[in-house]
Chain A
Amino acid sequence: MPQIAIGADSYAAQFATLKGTAPAAGPLGSLRDDAFRCFDRLGFPTTRLEEWRFTNIAPIVDTPFQAAGAAAGSGREVVDALRPPRSGGPELVFVNGRFAPELSDASGLPPGVRVRSLAATADAEAGGLDALAPYLGRLARFERHAFTALNTAFLADGAVIEVDGGVLVDRPIHLLFASSSDAAPVLSQPRVLVVAGASSELRVVESHAGAGDVPYLSNAVTEVSVAENAVVDHYTVVREAPAAFHVGSLAVRIGRAGNFSSHAITAGGAIVRHEAGVVLGGEGGECTLNGLYLANGRQLVDNQTTIDHAMPHCDSHELYKGILDGRSRAVFNGKIIVRLDAQKTDAKQSNKALLLSEDAQITTKPQLEIFADDVKCTHGATVGQLDADAMFYLRSRALSEAQARQLLIHAFAADLLGHIKVEAIRRQLDALLLERLPMNGNG
């Protein structure tokens, strides 16, 4: 198997150690075994695979990452520095993928909502994970996905959010995944499972952030089950350290008349890959995938989305926007599948990129696989620069070049910002959009 590089062998040794020191009984144990077998078989993806054609992960494969141990790293100061603003809702903090109870606050939740660490859930009562078995490792399929397989093989901790049927959670639930390497490069593997009962409503914010100059790999997997009539609004904000790598997969299944929206903001890290895969598995479901990707320097940011219209009368709306500067590169791959039965599908996809420098690059590819005949599907992609006429107009109104750029860049992202319902995230993004731009002093 030529695509297995040194990296994969080192994980085999680590997996053996894990099995020796922390054997997992029952279903979790066999899930891990299955996952590792898959990872071993698949090896890391190479650019020969269509979905990885423009994303060369050699720097990830070639770095000897060590799976984070139970008593992982950073203390309160590092976490506090990374902590995004929050809106008063509960917040669970994970350091290198491990729950840090002393840094977390899960109070203030209404009855019918359980927010726990996966480790605690597994320990809690005998068969604590049984209720989760239909979802855990089932929504995020790892058979053909090496990174998801790797995450699942080392599955030990993570966040579990369960909302009972009919319960409305009014404040967003925040999850902070802080990563950092001390001496050796760390493999941090955040894991999230959200199970939203019928007619429940909740909002989840995942922040992925990190510190330090030593690279780490944050390999995150999130599974979301949206039951009948449930509404789930999900945010991912990726602001990893400049030397770090982030690979994240969001896997969602939407039941009958369920509604799911994702807002994926990817801003920091040397290589950032975010995948969102949604199955519209019941009639009348609705799905919104929004994304904002920012890249600078030599960053590579890759967004892959798949919306699977498996049932009739479902709508999907997808809007991704990118702002690229320096010599950064971005990839956007948007796949929409409309199955034979999925009549009356309405699917819209749009990807827009703003290139701020001549050396920035975007590769964008819509992929429609339509098997039903009574459907509406539209897609479009645009790539552009800042509008010179608008720049002149603003400067003729006494704004400096830097201010004018800032305003126009912010304006480019304005519609996406408008969809963000968590005020704290919107403010964080405002700041992010401004902070990344060159300031020429006199502005």
Chain B
Amino acid sequence: MSDVKSKIREVLAARGGFPGGIEALGDQSDLYAAGLSSFASVQIMLALEEAFDLEFPDSLLNRKTFQSVDAIAGAVQGILDGAPAAE
């Protein structure tokens, strides 16, 4: 899981556009409050699909999935484990 999170943080650092930098944010910090726009969240999703070689099912394409590093990690891990949230 920590590998997953550090990879996610790399993606967020490259694409997130967080004014204070991703390093300043905890795993549970609200990414939207930190400046994540819905446009950027789509870009991040694409980058994650590329980085982890996976595809987000429609059921995970919502605001909650990108709320925090932990939430993203939960979603990514779920897909990697082959058990995405009910599709």
| Pair from one complex | no
Question: Which residues of A approach B to under 8 Å, CB–CB?
Answer: none
